[in-house]
Structures are given as structure tokens and as C-alpha cells.
């Protein structure tokens, strides 16, 4: 069975049909008015208009006549007239504002960028240090160090929250955290994951847990960074991917051994 796609959602009062304003809608246009109201909220959330609805957009929100439903929504006070259209009453009491959404997305991108730069700098320093003669000891301790770092990241709510903030679809948070923890312990490059989350468009529908679990994040992630080091045997410039160990002698000196 195909996995369901999760779409961005809006918040609707569960008692909308018995609200003090909606019960004043004429029975003949009741359901049409409710439908038009919900469709308008969805449009405003998707375009981040803070509840402002241009007049020429209303006819595009559904099929059939809309004027009677529009008039009813204005009459009972669920919509208000503006210079260029309408304003949904109390919109920001229920929905996220454009400022909040943009601020959350920006914070996620900034956090992901800082982490990416830090990881890149540390990887470059590590590659240079390996070439000074401590390669054997570093290679021996690297798996233990990486395992500890992965466990720390997997249990650190801050790292997951940065990824969560950067990703536009906020559904299934606990499942997403479990997927994130599993991926980190398996050795995923968290800086690339954060960068991938920040690149996902606002129109995305896939939840974060599936984005990580099925590998979709790789389609948005930047290419792996390569770090430069000097071979201790031939003194030539060599490169390794971040996370790999530099080899001395390098593959050029010793084609039958070493890391690439």
C-alpha cells in the first residue's frame, strides 16, 4: 500500500458549525459559506498573507456560485472588507503569522549553516593532523569517537530541533525524532542533513520522518566536502572526503593500501 503524503495543514475550530457567528448564516447558504471560509484560510496560509484575501481570488477557490456565500460571511462578521478585498476575522488568533513562519525558517537555515561550517572546519583540521604522524592512533580511536559523537547528537534535542525548524512540514514530530536518532547513530552527516532540510520548498508535503528514512534528503543535500592534506611519504597534496581517514603513505605511494 502506498504511503500517504502529509500536506501542510491549517487550524479549524472543531465547533465551527455551532460558533456564535456561523449559526447566524442563512440555512440555504450554510455549507457553501463554511466551505468557502475554510478554502480561504487555506489559501491565506499557503501564501502567508496573514488573513488578507484579494477580491479576485475568491472566485478561484471553488466551483459554482460564490457571491451568496461571500455575502453571508461578510454579513455575520467572519470576513471584513478591505480596500482590495477581504480580511478573515481573528485569522492570527488561530493560524501562524507570515512573520513567525519566516522567522522559524530563517532560524533553521542559520543554525544549519553554522553547523555545516563548524563540521567542515573541524574535518579540515583533523585531516591535516592525521598527516603529521598520528595516523595509526587516530584511525584506531576514530570509530569510538564517532560513535560517542553520534550518540550525543542522537540524544541532543537541540540538534533535532534545528533540523525540525528548518524543515517546512511539521507533522509526526516523535516519529521524525526517532528517524533522526536512527540516522545519526548509523553515521549520517548531520551538516548535510540540516542543509538539505533548509533547501526543501514551502510547498513540500512529505513529513520529516519519511524525508530522512527513505533517503529523500540526499536529493537536496550539497555534495560531500573534501579536505586537503599532505602525504607524509611523498609530500604531495591529497584529498579525502569529510569523515574519511587520510592515508600515509597515500594511494599514489601505495596503490595496494590506504584510504582514498
Query: pTM of the predicted model, to two decimals?
Result: 0.42
| pLDDT of 249 | 61
**186 and 104 inside one domain:** yes
Residue-wise pLDDT for 18-35, tens only, equals 999 999 999 999 999 999
* Whether residue 196 sits in one domain with residue 115: yes
Q: Has residue 1 been placed in a domain?
A: no
Residue 109 lies in a domain: yes
Evaluate whether residue 181 is within a structural domain: yes
Residues 103 and 214 in one domain: yes
**Which of 94, 112, 134 is at the close of a domain?**
94
Domain tally, the chain: 2
With respect to residue 241, please indicate whether it lies within any of the assigned structural domains. Answer: no
Domain that holds residue 72: 16-94
Backbone angles phi, psi at 169, to 5 degrees: -100, 115
pLDDT in tens, 97-129: 989 878 878 887 888 788 877 777 777 666 665
Residue 245 is assigned to a structural domain of this protein: no
Distances (CA, A) of 54 to 51, 81, 83, 250: 10, 10, 9, 65
Among positive and negative, which fits the CA dihedral 73, 77, 78, 83? positive
Residues 122 and 211 in one domain: yes
Amino acid at each position: 500500500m502506498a504511503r500517504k503524503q502529509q500536506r501542510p495543514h491549517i487550524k479549524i475550530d472543531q465547533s465551527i458549525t455551532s460558533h456564535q457567528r456561523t449559526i447566524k448564516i442563512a440555512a440555504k447558504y450554510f455549507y457553501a459559506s463554511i466551505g468557502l471560509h475554510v478554502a480561504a484560510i487555506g489559501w491565506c496560509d499557503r501564501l502567508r498573507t496573514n488573513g488578507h484575501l484579494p477580491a479576485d481570488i475568491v472566485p478561484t477557490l471553488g466551483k459554482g456560485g460564490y457571491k451568496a456565500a461571500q455575502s453571508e460571511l461578510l454579513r455575520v462578521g467572519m470576513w471584513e472588507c478591505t480596500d482590495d478585498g477581504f480580511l478573515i476575522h481573528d485569522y492570527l488568533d488561530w493560524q501562524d503569522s507570515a512573520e513567525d513562519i519566516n522567522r522559524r525558517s530563517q532560524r533553521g537555515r542559520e543554525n544549519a549553516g553554522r553547523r555545516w561550517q563548524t563540521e567542515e572546519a573541524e574535518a579540515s583540521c583533523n585531516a591535516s593532523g592525521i598527516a603529521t604522524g598520528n595516523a595509526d592512533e587516530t584511525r584506531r580511536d576514530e570509530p569510538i569517537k564517532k560513535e560517542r559523537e553520534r550518540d550525543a547528537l542522537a540524544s541532543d534535542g537541540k540538534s533535532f530541533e534545528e533540523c525540525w525548524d528548518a524543515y517546512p512540514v511539521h507533522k509526526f514530530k516523535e516519529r521524525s525524532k526517532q528517524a533522526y536518532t536512527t540516522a545519526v547513530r548509523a553515521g549520517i552527516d548531520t551538516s548535510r542533513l540540516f542543509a538539505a532540510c533548509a533547501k526543501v520548498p514551502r510547498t513540500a508535503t512529505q513529513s520529516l520522518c519519511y524525508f530522512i528514512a527513505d533517503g529523500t534528503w540526499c536529493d537536496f543535500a550539497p555534495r560531500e566536502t573534501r579536505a586537503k592534506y599532505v602525504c607524509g611519504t611523498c609530500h604531495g597534496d591529497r584529498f579525502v572526503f569529510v569523515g574519511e581517514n587520510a592515508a600515509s603513505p597515500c594511494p599514489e605511494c601505495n596503490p595496494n593500501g590506504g584510504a582514498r
